[in-house]
Structure 1
Amino acid sequence: MSQASPVSRPLQRLAEVSALPAYRGRRAELLTDFYQLTMMYGYFRAGQQDQRVVFDVFYRTNPCGNGYVIAAGLEQVVWYLSNLRFSDEDIAYLRGLQQFSEDFLDELRRFRFTGSLMAVPEGTVVFPNEPLLRFEGRVFELQLIESAVLSFVNHQSLIATKARRIVEAARTNPVAPDGPVIEMGLRRAQNVDASVFGARAAVIGGCVGTSNVLAGQSFNIPVMGTQAHSWIQNFASELDAFRAYAETFPDNVVLLVDTYDVLRSGVPNAITVAKELAEKGVRLSAIRIDSGDLAYLSKRARRMLDAAGLADVGIVASSDLDEFTIRDLVLQGAQITSWGVGTKLVTSYDCPALGGVYKLAAREVNGVMEPCIKISENASKVTNPGKKKVLRFIVDGYASADLIALDDEAFDPSQPLELFDPVHTYKRKTIEDFTIEPLLQPVFQDGELVYELPPLENIRSRVEAQLKLFSSEILRPVNPHEYHVDLSQRLWDLKQRLLHAQRPAGAPR
């Protein structure tokens, strides 16, 4: 009697992820722009649905004036591709649009992702124009997935990057350089998914916890929170409210002190409760200030707490914080030991979108994969053609440059390599004694998942390790040094040939 084959570890891990509350029971097959379906139908009617193509996902500009992006969202992409099926309900809806033939709807009913995917692991530091994901497969499949894939990757990469900027600002605080940042944006996120997956991305970027319980349950993130102003208001006095909360949660007493008056009421009442707790062998963990001049109030509160013998009591700040406000508070000597950040983190308030795109890079012609290029009057929108990879060159322990190269190119670390700026080609440098880190890793091969999805804490640790590869000039939040992302000579030559070949005869320069 034959034994059943053991489930591969990637599939076992996928099953674990798919069972998480954030994913369980969800459907995303119609999470697409309508023109994806009309193009699919056009390919189907033309008999081209099985044509093999290559698509790249990349972005053109770093968000928030940052010098880099933290790649995130791959887990959602893997879940989506693995579970992509059209239900009877979906087919009935599409039939009701009266746009598609029955044989096309039958083809959708049989839809499965059978393509290949190479991707940078979540938590990787990436730069403009680098392929973050590279798809290869039937155009019928790859056309459908564009919109959903971009939604997943753009959103989480943006929030992870914003979170990192905020965490780095908090780390400049000499009062508490390890002071934690907590994500608290559920009520201000654009929708439920944005709040749950935004919290996940915030932890990738360095936050230590979230107020979002569903995100905590789904991704094993520590959940944090104490009381709101309404709790304080609902008691006969602020002191009664503090005492009731301390009695309910004696192991984590954090008191919100700005409901009425921080310095005349909130802090004095917190000190009273702290002394009562001390008699029971319990300590006040922290006070929280959620309004007013946080620098002034935190300094005054610190003096009052210290004078009462409560130097170990922390001060938590919230109230529309972002990296700029936190840096200003640090410069003003604010005595804040931890930070609760909501609206401006989970919405990436000042830069609310990452402009990631999904572009055709190659297509099969007469059985041969031919490179494709998109040309635009806007030079930044001209694409890099062909099936490509991204290599990171490490010199003396630091990332020296990234190189976008054709997939079949090889480079010898024992030989010097000249790199050049793909726009200003006279800017050149030669590197020696380097090691090469390929950024794109296999995720799907011919529809089979070959990549084991890592737990969130591993992705978070990858961010820390990745950032150590880069100089502080590249990582600084304002006017960062531009990191070199170059094209290989072969890819640059190919691009120039295609540019000239596509230029109409007699066209003006």
Structure 2
Amino acid sequence: MSEVTTTDLYEVTMAMSYLREDMHATATFSLFVRDLPPGRGFLVAAGLEPALDYLARFRVQRSDIRDFSAALHRPPEDLADLLDLRFEGQVRAVPEGRIVFAGEPLLEVTAPLPQAQLVETYLLTQLCHQTAVASKAARCMLAAHGRPLIDFSLRRSHGPQAGLQSARLGALVGFAGTSNVAAATRFGIPASGTMAHSYIESFACEEDAFRAFARTHPGPVTFLVDTYDTELGVLTAARVLSDLRRGPGSSIRLDSGDLGLLARRSRALLDAADLANVRIIASGGLDEYAIADLVSSKAPIDVFAVGTRVGVAADAPYLDAAYKLVQYDGKPVMKLSSAKVTAPAPKQVFRLPGCSDVIALRDEEPPRGGTPLLHTVMRAGRRTGPPDSLAAARARLGADLAALPSAARRIHHPEPPVPVTSPRLEALTESVRESLTSGLAGHPGTNAPKR
């Protein structure tokens, strides 16, 4: 399936009309999140790198024209103007790993109108999903208070591509590894895996299973101990590890039940067997809330494996994001729809100490102590530099989390900072609003929107 045709049909119909009407002037679209989901004190910008890859290779080919014509039930000749259309614009964006808040542009595209319009859907799919998952994963890191986290999300993700993205985003926020082999090899993430209950059930007893697994895999091993009776499973694992002298670096995994209680009992049994160096890994429906509870109860869990709830950002699986035209042919534009008013013109976000952000016009000078969040990452359809690294994104996130107010970092009932608007942007917004309102009022048969 072509990435070009991975779009909503109305993007194609609009682009066709723009081309037919010779509307090639430069447009700027702004992609932002209107409101943070409930239970979020911040978002982690993510998805930019694959979005830039897409824009760099964007080109409408004959096969795309055939697909478009079939969807529209129109002859291919009607779409001839789209053939060979490429993305040749500029992109300014917040780098991956930076913390962002409601109303702040994550990305702005400036390009000839048909190009900027046609790439909308794909950009939204990349940045929205990945920002939602990265934000959930970052909260898990906060909840774990330094304990390692492993991504186990692939089997419950919304498809293989989403699973690949989730593993990458876990690594971006600081996860120690992933069970996803494709992600491990593609992104250089440490691979981590244990065994399933089916493996244990395939043998006559747990001890046979553990010994067989250890024979196949020399060195440290991890035994899943809760297939039948967890405490008996721990005792069996301890006996096998002691017999084989495989304790150092090895682990047991708890995947069900009262993980805090079972971890305490397991730790006591392992310590009694002189296996204090055997770690306890916990998995099974974990997210930041469960992890925070386990950590606060001082459960002796060394590693958390998170899957379903993080890979699909279960409590906030989507973002109320938009990609809106803010300027066309040098003229600021805005939307006046009730509850969905947009601010006009290309923008910049300046970050002051304590994440006191100011949303301003693109050409404004930064306020004292303010640094810009949006950077030019693409010109004339080409990247302005080499692809960013996961390590660089992790470093940015670490610095931003350290500067984030504690109320926004809270797992329960966080309070996100609210950006302010610069006086110049406020004045322009009011001016454009008044111009549009007066124009609508003077148009025959049109009712002006109420202010």
TM norm structure 2:
0.94
Matches within 5 A, 1:133-212: 133-171=107-145, 178-212=146-180
Structure 1 residue 212 displacement after superposition? 0.6
How far apart in 1 are the matches of 2:313 and 2:123? 20
Equivalent residues of 1:121, 1:440 under 8 A apart: yes
Task: Show CA shifts across 1:76-120 (max 9, x none).
Answer: 111101111233322222233455565553332211111111011
Q: Which residue in 1 is equivalent to 2:444?
A: none
Matches within 5 A, 1:83-482: 83-97=57-71, 99-100=73-74, 102=76, 105-171=79-145, 178-263=146-231, 265-278=232-245, 283=248, 285-364=250-329, 369-378=330-339, 381-394=340-353, 398-399=354-355, 401-411=356-366, 413=368, 434=369, 436-482=370-416
Inter-CA distance 112–284: structure 2 relative to 1 (3 Å threshold): closer
Structure 1 residue 169 displacement after superposition? 1.0
Secondary structure class of the residue paired with 1:47:
coil
Equivalent residues of 2:252, 2:280 under 8 A apart: yes
Count of aligned positions = 443
**Amino acid corresponding to residue 335 of structure 2 in structure 1:** K
Secondary structure class of the residue paired with 1:339:
strand
Q: Which residue in 2 is equivalent to 1:30?
A: 5
Match of 2:422 among 488, 495, 502: 488
Structure 1 residue 310 displacement after superposition? 1.2
Match of 1:46 among 18, 21, 26: 21
Structure 1 residue 508 displacement after superposition? 5.1
Secondary structure class of the residue paired with 1:63:
coil
Equivalent residues of 1:274, 1:284 under 8 A apart: no
Secondary structure class of the residue paired with 2:105:
coil
Secondary structure class of the residue paired with 1:122:
coil
**Amino acid corresponding to residue 30 of structure 1 in structure 2:** T
Query: After the TM superposition, which of the residue ranges 492-501 and 127-136 deviates more from structure 2?
Result: 492-501
Equivalent residues of 1:86, 1:111 under 8 A apart: yes
Inter-CA distance 317–64: structure 2 relative to 1 (3 Å threshold): farther
How far apart in 2 are the matches of 1:157 and 1:180? 21
**Amino acid corresponding to residue 327 of structure 2 in structure 1:** A
The RMSD of aligned alpha carbons is 1.8
**Amino acid corresponding to residue 200 of structure 1 in structure 2:** R
Equivalent residues of 2:45, 2:99 under 8 A apart: yes
Task: Show CA shifts across 1:349-379 (max 9, x none).
Answer: 1111112210010111xxxx1111111222x
Structure 1 residue 507 displacement after superposition? 5.8
**1:502 and 2:441 aligned:** no
Inter-CA distance 81–312: structure 2 relative to 1 (3 Å threshold): same
Secondary structure class of the residue paired with 1:291:
coil
Structure 1 residue 437 displacement after superposition? 1.3
Q: Percent identity?
A: 39
How far apart in 2 are the matches of 1:466 and 1:498? 34
Q: Which residue in 1 is equivalent to 2:52?
A: 78
Equivalent residues of 2:134, 2:169 under 8 A apart: yes
Inter-CA distance 457–469: structure 2 relative to 1 (3 Å threshold): same
How far apart in 1 are the matches of 2:293 and 2:72? 58
Secondary structure class of the residue paired with 1:65:
coil
**Amino acid corresponding to residue 12 of structure 2 in structure 1:** L
Equivalent residues of 1:75, 1:453 under 8 A apart: yes
Query: After the TM superposition, which of the residue ranges 147-156 and 477-486 deviates more from structure 2?
Result: 477-486
Structure 1 residue 123 displacement after superposition? 0.6
Structure 1 residue 496 displacement after superposition? 1.6
Equivalent residues of 1:253, 1:283 under 8 A apart: no
How far apart in 2 are the matches of 1:353 and 1:127? 15
How far apart in 1 are the matches of 2:77 and 2:373? 41
